[in-house]
Structure 1
Amino acid sequence: VHKHGAKLLASMVNGMDDRDDPNNLVALEAMTSLSKLLEHLEERDVQAMLLHIAIRIRPFFDSEQPDLRRSSIVLFGNLTKFSEGDCEAFFEQILNGLVTLLLHLQDPKPEVVRACKFALRMCGPNMGCEGLCDMFLNHLREDRSLHYGEFMNNVCKHL
């Protein structure tokens, strides 16, 4: 994986751009596989593609297909691990996706809710607000139910 990481990464990104895939099955597999591969890739390879990947997966956050929503949101959360070198540009992507991620905390599909909790916990440290980060880490645990209205009131106080 280390030897061919850049090529693998490019292939996965190209899979997300496949226009001949009306049901987005290739995109789904590409996002799911990329989430699994990230930990094995060289950080510099991922950072070089970080912004492109984040922009490319963003439309899938609102897909009608729950698997696409879940996979894209999990991948976004996993990408935050690589955002240190390109923090400003990725921070903008976090802000662009924040409302959607917060809204999907009420998604009818539990797997999408779990993905959003994960992504927001991962994004928290990159947001520059310790109070918001602490809220995400404490209230968005997978094993914990969420009082959405109260949570959103508290989030708004930090924004």
Structure 2
Amino acid sequence: MDKTQRRIMGQPFSIPTSQPKKKRTPMMSFFPKVSGKLRFQKQETLKNMFFILTEGARDCSAKKRHMAMKGLGTLACEAPDKVRKYNKIVLDLLVHGLYDPVSSEVIHESMKTLSIILGKIQGKGLGSFFIDITLQTRTLLDDENDSLRYSAFVLFGQLAAFAGRKWKKFFTTQVKHTRDSLLIHLWDKNPQVAKACKTTFQACSPYLKLRKEYSFQSEEDQRNPKLCRQLSHYHPELLQFFYANKIL
């Protein structure tokens, strides 16, 4: 860390405000600018922003952690090269945010930012973070919060695309454990969640037919046509997709 970075980490980051008499913390003054559509220009500014965001992501304040996660998402959109450079640091922060013990807002923002970053890095460099992200995301598929469920389905669908050969066996097992959630939320009360679930179901379909026990084509399912009737009525195109791919 150079002198400039140490100075920024050790001293307040002051930004002029329109109301100078109103006291604002340096971190809270900084985040709204990062969360907006800010165009980053100078490399030094990018570096400073990144280190301030990493500090915020570890802050004891849930509000600051939430805003830091949001800022990292904006940084990933505006300066993906910077995120790739510090890939492991960013992923570590986001995984910790995904397991935040206090704030559902931090968890939600971490998932949204992970979705952005996975798209930027195309799943490269995930390493063992893939396991941590998958396990926690799977538990959120049935969360009572609509926003968390929606983001969890989106992220889980992305993970299906990035499992690769290394995590294929692991992810296949996770999809097997997730099958009930995938079926239930096709009829989720929230239409956006149901739509995200449908997309994720299709993304996970290759993992459902790798082995006979992972397929819906069991004797029990064949004896009970209820699932097929429901799909035929509510999601005929999904039923056709399952038939075409020999999942049903």
The alignment's TM-score, normalised by the length of structure 2, stands at 0.51
CA RMSD of aligned residues (A): 2.8
Query: Which amino acid in structure 2 is aligned with residue 103 of structure 1?
Result: I
Q: Deviations over 1:16-56 (max 9, x none)?
A: 111121xx000000001111110223644224211211111
Q: Is 1:112 the counterpart of 2:198 in the alignment?
A: no
Matched, 1:64 2:144: yes
Q: Which has the larger radius of gyration?
A: 2
Shift of 1:127: 2.9
| AA matched with 1:114 | K
Q: Which runs of 5+ in 1 are unaligned?
A: 133-144
1:6 aligns with 2:105: no
1:35 paired to 2:115: yes
41-50 or 58-67, which deviates more:
41-50
Match in the other structure for 2:158:
78
Query: 2:190 and 2:232 mapped to 1: Cα distance?
Result: 15
TM-score, normalised with respect to structure 1: 0.78
Q: 1:8 to 1:102 in 2, by over 3 A?
A: same
What is the aligned-residue identity percentage? Answer: 31
| Larger RCO (CA under 8 A, 6+ residues apart) | 1
CA pair 116-146 structure 1, distance change in 2 beyond 3 A: farther
Supply the distance in 2 between the matched residues of 1:51 and 1:146 (Cα, whole angstroms): 35
| 8 A Cα contact 2:84 2:121, kept in partner | yes
1:99 counterpart residue number: 180
Cα distance between partner residues in 2 of 1:47 and 1:83: 10
User: More helix by proportion, 1 or 2?
Assistant: 1
Distance (Å, rounded) in 2 between the aligned partners of 1:20 and 1:158: 40
1:148 deviates by 4.1
Determine which of 127, 137, 147 is the counterpart of 2:233. 147
